[in-house]
Amino acid sequence: MNSALIIGLFFVLMMAGIPVAVSLGLAALAYIVFITSIDPILVVQQTINGADKFTLLAIPFFIMAGGFMEQGGISNRIVHFAKSLFSPLPGGLALVVIGASMIFASMTGAGAATAAAIGSIMLPAMRREGYDEDFGGALQATAGIFGPLIPPSILMVLYGVATDTSVGDMLLAGVAPGLTLGLLVAAVTVIVCARRGYRGEGRLVLSETVSAFFHAFFALLTPVIILGGIYTGIFTATEAAAVAALYALVAGAFIYRELTAAKMLAIAYRSIKLAAGILFIVAATQAFGWVLTREQIPQKLAEFFSNLSGEPVVFLLAACVLLLIAGCFLDAVPAIMIFAPILAPSAIRYGINAVHFGVVMVVALCIGLITPPVGMNLFVVSSLSGRPVHAIVRKSLPFLAAVLIGLLFVVFVPALSLFLPEALG
């Protein structure tokens, strides 16, 4: 009964417009003050413990790296390279959105940042070429979900922190699922574009593609440096984030020479704000998680799932349904910090690999980026295109079906997530 009241209070506060982190903290404080006789200073202690983790340093660095890439000319060169590859195909510009978003995702690790950086370039271009604006917005919103899947990924880092799972393994495990979802979305895009008569433009010219590749070479080198450094043991996953930020700064300021001092200061300010918001949620989730643990919510959920079925696949599908529903109302960051410590132990009891389950969780919650009412990517592309969210949602249904099929692939084919981590030991 107590747990139901506290969880209910959290959702009431959140629906009232109070920020998620504050809602989590207030719900935990209300539990301690009105239901227990524990000193309320415990809330402060738990929130400090929640943020006092070295691995979390990766988050501000990855955010800063994304800002330097966006403002330092890297996103423009990525789009140009993707155009040289995909423009001649049917629905070429639509495929450029997917290709450029996947490449940009391999450098930033954030969905909304991917949607904003590529969308600001591609949505006006698609409008000029006669593409339906709502279709373009729906495609860009969907392509933005690759940000938290393809490494580096902020959500993978948070899952690793929340469950004591190797962050390096989590980052690498997202490669194949991210590429699989990208191919499924690309297949749907080609079908829709063929039906709408969106043709390609120009033809594939090898010399132009090679030239575009060399112009984008230093940009495309970023994921190689990040993952190569982690898996050769040169630096840890957390240190890789700092290296990525430094490399993006050097590339933008000294190689491409588009990153000015004013831009650096603006990026630093914006990155600090975004990182502070995420870390505030992480810290508050620690206090709220303490309440859930004291009320034995994880144990009760584990017992519920155990009684539901003895089959791991049934557990995974039930968890997916829960996370898809949660993704409609919660941003992915608080959702992963709330549900990962609760569901991961149950998954392990079922014999499910913790890395595989982490990828399932991240994919399911990433889908929440394109499902109303909270879907962050929908609001990003709505502001970029000037189109209402509900119009974009209608055109996103085929893409939503594609990523749901991709989620089933991830659930039923564990090797998709585990092949690379296991191959590299």
Taking the C-alpha atoms of residue 148 and residue 332, their distance in angstroms, rounded to an integer, is 9
DSSP 371: S
pLDDT-derived band at 1 (thresholds 50, 70, 90) equals low
The span from the CA of 30 to the CA of 420, in Å, is 45
Non-local (6+) Cβ contacts of 227 within 8 A are: 151, 171, 172, 240
pLDDT at 184 over 90: yes
The answer to whether residue 406 scores a pLDDT higher than 90 is: yes
Q: How far apart are CA 7 and CA 338, in angstroms?
A: 11
Question: Rounded distance, CA 140 to CA 369, Å?
Answer: 11
Round to whole Å and give the CA distance between 198 and 218: 32
pLDDT of residue 34: 82
- How crowded is residue 261: how many other Cβ atoms within 10 Å of its Cβ? 8
CA atoms in the 13 A half-sphere facing the CB of 386: 3
Q: pLDDT class for 402, splitting at 50, 70, 90? A: very high
Q: What number is the average pLDDT over the span 218-227?
A: 76
Q: Which two tokens stand for residue 182?
A: 């990208």
Q: What is the pLDDT of residue 136?
A: 87
- The mean pLDDT value of the chain amounts to 81
Q: Whole-angstrom Cα distance, residue 136 to residue 232? A: 40
Domains in the chain, number: 1
Highest mean pLDDT among 224-238, 243-257, 323-337, 350-364: 350-364
What's the average model confidence in pLDDT over 355-367? 92
CB-based contact 319:328 (threshold 8 Å): no
Contact indicator for 120, 145 with CB cutoff of 8 Å: no
Domain range for 198 is 2-423
Is the pLDDT at 282 greater than 90? The verdict is no
- 416 CB contacts (<8 Å, ≥6 apart)? 176, 177, 180, 409, 410
Q: Contact 340/322 with Cβ under 8 angstroms?
A: no
- At 145, which amino acid appears? I
H helices within 87-132, ranges in order? 92-108, 111-128
Whether the pLDDT of residue 302 is over 70: the answer is no
Which of 332, 265, 309 shows the shortest CA–CA distance to 112? 332
User: Higher model confidence: residue 175 or residue 109?
Assistant: 175
Q: What is the mean pLDDT of residues 364-377?
A: 80
At residue 374, does pLDDT exceed 70?
no
pLDDT at 309: 64
The CA distance from 189 to 361, in Å, is 25
Q: Please state which of the ranges 89-98, 226-235, 395-404 shows the lowest mean pLDDT.
A: 226-235
Q: Encode pLDDT of 151-178 as tens digits.
A: 777 788 889 888 888 888 888 888 889 8
How far is it, in rounded angstroms, from Cα 181 to Cα 60?
27
> What HEC string does 365-423 produce?
HHHHHHCCCCCHHHHHHHHHHCCCHHHHHHHCHHHHHHHHHHHHHHHHCCHHHHHHHHH
Least confident of 131-145, 295-309, 410-424: 295-309
User: What pLDDT is stored for residue 325 in this prediction?
Assistant: 84
Q: How confident is the model at residue 403 (pLDDT cuts 50, 70, 90)?
A: very high
For the ranges 47-51, 86-90, 126-130, 419-423, the lowest mean pLDDT is seen at: 86-90
Q: What is the mean pLDDT of residues 179-196?
A: 88
Q: What is the predicted pLDDT for the residue at 414? A: 92
Q: Can you give the pLDDT at residue 408?
A: 94
Task: Tell me what the mean pLDDT of segment 94-119 comes to.
Answer: 74
Q: Decide if pLDDT at 263 tops 70.
A: yes
Query: pLDDT at residue 201 above 90?
Result: no
Query: What is the pLDDT at residue 308?
Result: 66
Helices 312-329 and 297-308 meet at what angle, rounded to 10? Answer: 130
